[in-house]
Amino acid sequence: MSTVDPTTGTGALDAAAAADPLTIAGRAFRSRLLLGTGGFQSLEAMAEAIKVSGSELVTVALRRIDPGAAGSIMDVIADAGVEVLPNTAGCYTARDAVTTARLAREAFETNWVKLEVIGDDRTLLPDAIELVEAAEILVDDGFVVLPYTTDDPILARRLEDVGCAAVMPLGSPIGSGMGINNPYNIAIIRERTQLPVVLDAGVGTASDAALAMELGCDAVLCASAISRAHDPRAMSLAIKAAVEAGRLARVAGRIPRRLHAEASTPDAGLPDFGVADA
């Protein structure tokens, strides 16, 4: 990609991304795409998808892997040169989530945690009450907490109040691929919080990721949309491009929606050829 003219094409996208880093808890990231590691058919497929995504942060469920096991997911992540964001997937209570986060801090040697506290296993929706309590405890314990939350603007504010480093609202339930069900709520969360907003669940394809960024999200986290696609590598590339395109469009500033047409060429100052006889 470095051979592409930096003023056009993909090179320009990369240059724009480099000039506009994502900052979470004082750390800058070039990539605005975070990857989940669940659901890949093979380690090889996961390695490929991570590589082409340009992602610098991938999330791993402590409950599903042993970080010490050789030749496992951890080796693929290390080889890819990306950082691990441990998550507390599979936790149903604040107590479990706090314990899991502390184990993850030991195992992965990072105080960053993607906090998930799930209400039930059919919807995998966050349990708001347990989530806030766990966030409070973990922030107090020195963690950089990135909570997976519903698209509720008030809950997002509560999470900001207790000291989280970002908020990660869902677009729709985990793995559903239904995109962003309530774009207005995502826009309100963006408007009301100073924190980075990372759209965390529901992305089904590239356009969903672009929409998230156009709504003002700072980043997108994507797992199933890539890992369960027929060709994860191609989908990873597509979503990377969509995140970058959506971010640029947000920064560029979209035109307002209008009910009626407005000609792109104004008629004021047009030459008068003397044929129009009004």
Alpha-carbon span 208 to 199, nearest angstrom = 10
- Report helix, strand or coil for 74: helix
Please give the full DSSP string across 10-41, using - where no structure is assigned. HHHHHHHHHTS-EEETTEEES--EEEE-TT-S
202-231 binders of another protein (CB under 8 A)? 230-231
| Residue 47 interacts with another protein (CB under 8 A): yes or no | yes
Distance of CA 57 to the CA centre of its chain: 10
| Residue 264 interacts with another protein (CB under 8 A): yes or no | no
Residue 210 tokens read as 């672009």
| Residue 81 interacts with another protein (CB under 8 A): yes or no | no
Closest CB 204 distance from another protein, rounded Å:
12
Q: Which of 19, 28, 70, 278 binds another protein (CB under 8 A)?
A: 70
Q: Which of 6, 15, 20, 64 binds another protein (CB under 8 A)?
A: 64
CB 56 within 8 A of CB 228: no
CB 10 within 8 A of CB 240: no
3-42 binders of another protein (CB under 8 A)? 41-42
Active site residue 114: yes
Q: Which of 71, 81, 142, 266 binds another protein (CB under 8 A)?
A: 71
Toward another protein, which CB reaches closer, 153 or 202?
A: 202
Residue type at 276 in one-letter notation: A
Toward another protein, which CB reaches closer, 47 or 217?
A: 47
147-206 binders of another protein (CB under 8 A)? 176
Which of 105, 114, 247, 250 is flagged as catalytic?
114
Q: Which of 5, 8, 26, 68 binds another protein (CB under 8 A)?
A: 68
Q: Which of 4, 43, 125, 248 binds another protein (CB under 8 A)?
A: 43
CB 84 within 8 A of CB 58: yes
- Report helix, strand or coil for 250: helix
Toward another protein, which CB reaches closer, 126 or 177?
A: 177
Residue 223 tokens read as 């797992």
168 forms beta bridges with: 148
What 8-state DSSP symbol labels residue 42?
Answer: S
Q: Which residues are catalytically annotated?
A: 114
Query: Which residues here bind another protein, judged by CB under 8 A?
Result: 41-45, 47, 64-66, 68-73, 76, 176, 230-232
